[in-house]
Amino acid sequence: MTNSLNFLKSEAASELTENILPFWLERMIDPNGGFYGRIDGNGKLCADAPRGGILTARILWTFASAYRLLGREEYLRAALLARDEIRDRFFDKENGGTYWSLDAQRNPLDTKKQIYAIAFTVYGLSELYRAIGDQGSLELAIELYRSIEKYSFDNVLNGYLEAFTKEWNPIEDMRLSEKDQNDAKTMNTHLHVLEGYTSLYRVWKDAGLQKQLKNLIEVFLDRILLPDGHLALFFSEDWSNTSHVTSYGHDIECAWLLAEAAEVLGDEALLKRVKSACAQTAVAALEGWSAEGGMIYERDIVDGETDADRHWWVQAETVVGCLWQWKYRKAVADSTAAGWLEKSVQEWAFIKQNIINPEGEWYWSLRADGTPNREDDLAGFWKCPYHNGRMCMEILQMNE
């Protein structure tokens, strides 16, 4: 097992420092300020593309975390550039929260308040505080957390509502993207509010945040995780499940993010429940995985149709989810532990052969027919260095 983990660490260090991060440092920084909005699937810079709040928040998190681990000044400069863009351009100084997007000239474009994006901003700002103790970043993260609690938290039915207008009024189209259902509550937003709150609680031990983080974990255990281990994805305001799809990538991602949240919270009884639930979810996720073919995207549970594309982020989360299962199972001398580490190694081999773009960064996906997807971005509104960068950093921080 030691050899396998050491192999992964060596590979992860090279991939992070020689491919992923250099791509973003060399090709995505706008000399006029901030980061460009898009590089297409063929490597062409689209300088006039809108700039997403999620993209900027994920860049912030990635480079802050990389600086914390590796101490390279160029990583800190990138993190501070992203912080400044969030503070000076994305943050709504009048109403609170952050805008969904800016135009290419860095002016507000879509001013809606999407809770998913604001949660990612909390995540990035908290990580920067963790890395360098930047008090302004912590204060802004806390302010955004309080906006989420004030406007999005459902005090009657529990959970978090999806989106609002600039002034925090109800909004007709709450969808995160065009492919999503227009429902009041989603697994995806709850997962990333959980992620942001975990990051914030790690550095700010506030009693109110502690309560809400615990509540979020319990929402997953009681509302979102299904009896078969998969996640329900969409809900009405009263938590009626409207889902019809199994998302294998979200299954395996949740299987470690939920565990991380419970670890940071430090409630041993709750952590015991979470470990059991995450073990079931990780096993359920592997219905979509094979050593030779990686992790497929999703399956429609009504008609049985499968989307067998292998998306970049799903592959990255598969490596991490399997590693966390190895960590927990070896700690209790579970005989299956070694198999989970081997799955991480096999998944990395699949990524290396099929997902990494020889010209830099990762392809959006490998098509079901085995060809690289060059139609979707190498970098863009949704294509960020966070999933693959975080995969590398989770490997580097994993102990024998």
H or E stretch at 217: helix 207-219
The identity of residue 156, as a single letter, is V
At residue 42 the predicted structure's pLDDT band, cuts being 50, 70 and 90, is very high
Q: Is the predicted pLDDT of residue 1 greater than 80, yes or no? A: no
pLDDT digits (tens, 9 = 90+) for 186-221: 999 999 999 999 999 999 999 999 999 999 999 999
pLDDT digits (tens, 9 = 90+) for 295-339: 999 999 999 999 999 999 999 999 999 999 999 999 999 999 999
Q: Is the predicted pLDDT of residue 2 greater than 80, yes or no? A: no
CA 91, 92, 98 angle in degrees (round to 5)?
Answer: 55
Largest Cα–Cα distance of the chain, in whole Å?
56
Q: What is the mean pLDDT of residues 166-171?
A: 98
| 372 phi/psi in degrees, rounded to 5 | -65, 140
pLDDT score recorded for residue 308: 98
Q: What is the mean pLDDT of residues 140-150?
A: 98
160, β-bridge pairs: 153
pLDDT digits (tens, 9 = 90+) for 223-252: 999 999 999 999 999 999 999 999 999 999
Cα first-last separation, the chain: 8
Q: Report the phi/psi class of residue 294: left, alpha or beta, with left for phi > 0 and alpha for psi in -120 to 50.
A: left
Q: Is the Cβ–Cβ distance between 175 and 220 less than 8 Å?
A: no
The verdict on domain 2-397 having CATH code 1.50.10.10 is: yes
Residue count (the chain):
400
At residue 123 the predicted structure's pLDDT band, cuts being 50, 70 and 90, is very high
At residue 400 the predicted structure's pLDDT band, cuts being 50, 70 and 90, is confident
Q: What is the mean pLDDT of residues 346-364?
A: 98
pLDDT score recorded for residue 389: 98
Tell me how far CA of residue 204 lies from CA of 60, 127, 164, in angstroms: 19, 11, 27
pLDDT digits (tens, 9 = 90+) for 45-58: 999 999 999 999 99
For the chain, domain boundaries:
2-397
294, β-bridge pairs: 290
Nearest to 380, CA basis, from 364, 358, 356 = 364
Q: What is the DSSP string of 277-328?
A: HHHHHHHHHGGGEETTTEE--EEETTT--EE--EEHHHHHHHHHHHHHHHHH
Tell me how far CA of residue 70 lies from CA of 65, 76, 393, 397, in angstroms: 9, 10, 10, 11
CA 57, 62, 64 angle in degrees (round to 5)?
Answer: 95
133 burial type by CB count under 10 A (0-12 exposed, 13-18 middle, 19+ buried): exposed
